[in-house]
Amino acid sequence: MIHSIIWVILEMNSLEEILEISFAQGVKITHATNSSKKVQKESIFFGLPGTREHGSSYIKDAFKNGASIAVHNDADFKEDLDNVFYVKDLQENDPTNFKSKIYNFLSELYKTPSGFNPKYYGFTGTNGKSSAAFLSHQLNKEKSFNSLYIGTLGFQYNDKDLNNLLSSKTTPDIFELFEIFSECKFAIDYISIEISSHALDQGRLDDIKLSYAAILNLEEDHLDYHRNLDEYAKAKFKILKMTDGKIAIHNQVVKKYKNFLNSFVEDYKIIKVDKDDLLNDISYSVTNSDIDRTRFTITADYEIHFLTSIFPEFNICNLVFALLPLVNNQVFKKNVINDLSYLQLPKGRAQIIANIKANVIIDYAHNPQAIRLFLKSINRFYDNLIVVVGCGGNRDSSKRPLMLKAAIENSKEVIFTSDNSRNESFSEIFYDACKGNIIENVKDIENRKEAIIYGSNLISHNDCLVILGKGHEETQEINNDFIHFSDHEVIDEIYK
């Protein structure tokens, strides 16, 4: 008993030393968060700058929810309570290890083992980052490493089931990241992580250094948050500051943002990647592509040949970015075809529903570029495409007509339906989407299940029903309520 008391005192002393404050006698800390909603008994709450207001505004809520201590870096916030502390340099890097006080605190709190130093592979882009990160994770598993995927789908450690309970964001913050590490017992060699523009703009993972980073593409998106394309691009390019000096970028992005990238040239090595262009650092070519088998070649210092079941062809680009760290380490054989048939895309990404008497594909495409590219990529395999698509409410309304236009131009008929309408009416969203479009082949059905059923009745033998926008998701957000809904379950009801 005496030994355990001494251990607790020593542990608390080390936590106090990191923050350079003294806790009240008898205080226990077993959990840390920067979200008052995630506070639990014996939590320490960190009030940090937010996009709309400072986290110090939620300190009272944190205590109501059971926090033991609150720490903040808001110089304008005044509170005389003994368990509220102002620490000015919470988020500044310690010159001894280049980590912030928050990172060092979490490392001590969660008892990070000595030598814990996983390699981070970070993927960003308007489209494809989920697929690239998930494929990277599978490649590392196949090489017998302890691998962790983190992204839109949640997190997956090795072959365990995907878990989305610890974070609802595409990219978790540092507090959620340590919770995930703890779940994995810190036995991690490689982390393949999606990094969103929001996370980059907010500096959620500024303590993390990426061993490999990739920008897959960069198109207009999330302008409700970033205001304009330049601000969105600036957020994406912040991933450069997270790298160890090298970053793979699609050549189309390099060409489009050449002037913007010039400011980084002296500090970063940009590895240009493109299809069928040997003038780039990395070139890839697709030899043969159909629904269930694709052969392709990556040319770096030498040629490497691959066989995969990944579909359609644009996903080969995502796969190339996932493969590059292993290509650079020369783990693949030359002069043979390296079989990657074990690789699978995440649920709801270009997913052809198996074992049913119809052609049905579910995909997460939810912006104009993704919709256009996806539909163009699969058009040649079917006589006609019937597309079910919607637009999110309370988000960038300027992309709605472009999304519908992309669907109209690449299908026989479009069924426009609800897709996380949030606090907007379906009729307002549909009205926006119709602007400038010829809608004679568009039918609006608000109820998503009814829309899918209607679409299923329009396809014949070699047609395909394409359901876009929600992919793996199992909820619909309507009027602040999250209602259970799954495109996959509806298809199961219809066909199985």
For residue 165, the tally of other CB atoms under 10 A from its CB is 9
What is the model's pLDDT at position 266? 60
Check residue 1 and give its pLDDT.
47
- Rounded (10°) angle between helices 400-409 and 368-379: 10
pLDDT digits (tens, 9 = 90+) for 265-319: 566 788 999 999 988 999 999 998 888 899 999 999 889 999 999 999 999 999 9
Could you state, in order of their start, the residue ranges of all structural domains in the chain? Answer: 2-109, 119-339, 351-495
Decide which of 149 and 219 is more confident.
Answer: 149
Q: Which fold has domain 351-495?
A: Protein-Tyrosine Phosphatase; Chain A (3.90.190)
Whether 168 shows a pLDDT value over 90: the answer reads: no
All residues at 6 or more sequence positions from 87 whose CB lies less than 8 Å from its CB, including other chains: 19, 20, 21, 71, 72, 73, 101
Selecting from 3.30.930.10, 3.30.9.60, 3.40.1390.10, 3.20.20.70, what CATH number does the domain 2-109 have? 3.40.1390.10
Distances (CA, A) of 180 to 28, 129, 221, 254, 457: 22, 20, 28, 34, 44
- pLDDT single digits (tens) 35-89: 999 999 999 999 999 988 999 999 999 999 999 999 999 999 988 888 999 999 9
pTM equals 0.92
152-166, 229-243, 351-365, 458-472 — which is least confidently predicted?
Answer: 229-243
- Residue 404, CB-side half-sphere exposure with 13 Å CA sphere: 27
d(CA 378, CA 350) in angstroms, rounded, equals: 9
Question: Using H for helix, E for strand and C for coil, what is the string for 407-426?
Answer: HHHCCCEEEECCCCCECCCH
Confidence check: pLDDT of 329 > 90 = no
Place of tokens 């009272």: 60
List Cα–Cα distances, 112 to 40, 63, 115, 187, in angstroms.
21, 27, 9, 10
Give the Cβ contact number of residue 421 at 10 Å. 23
- Give the position of tokens 């969103």: 196
What kind and span of H or E run contains 14?
helix 2-19
CA distance 268 to 289: 35
Cβ proximity of 465 and 431 under 8 Å: no
Predicted pLDDT of residue 267: 64
Q: Which of 339, 305, 345, 302 is nearest to 322 (CA)?
A: 345
User: What one-character-per-residue DSSP string does 371-384 give?
Assistant: HHHHHHHHHTTSS-
pLDDT (tens digit, 9 = 90+) per residue, 247-263? 999 999 999 998 777 76
412-469 residue pLDDT tens: 999 999 999 999 999 999 999 999 999 999 999 999 999 999 999 999 999 999 999 9
**Cis peptide before 312, with omega less than 30 degrees from 0?**
yes
d(CA 310, CA 349): 10
Fold of 119-339: UDP-N-acetylmuramoyl-L-alanine:D-glutamate ligase (3.40.1190)
From 182-191, 313-322, 325-334, 374-383, the region with the lowest mean pLDDT: 325-334
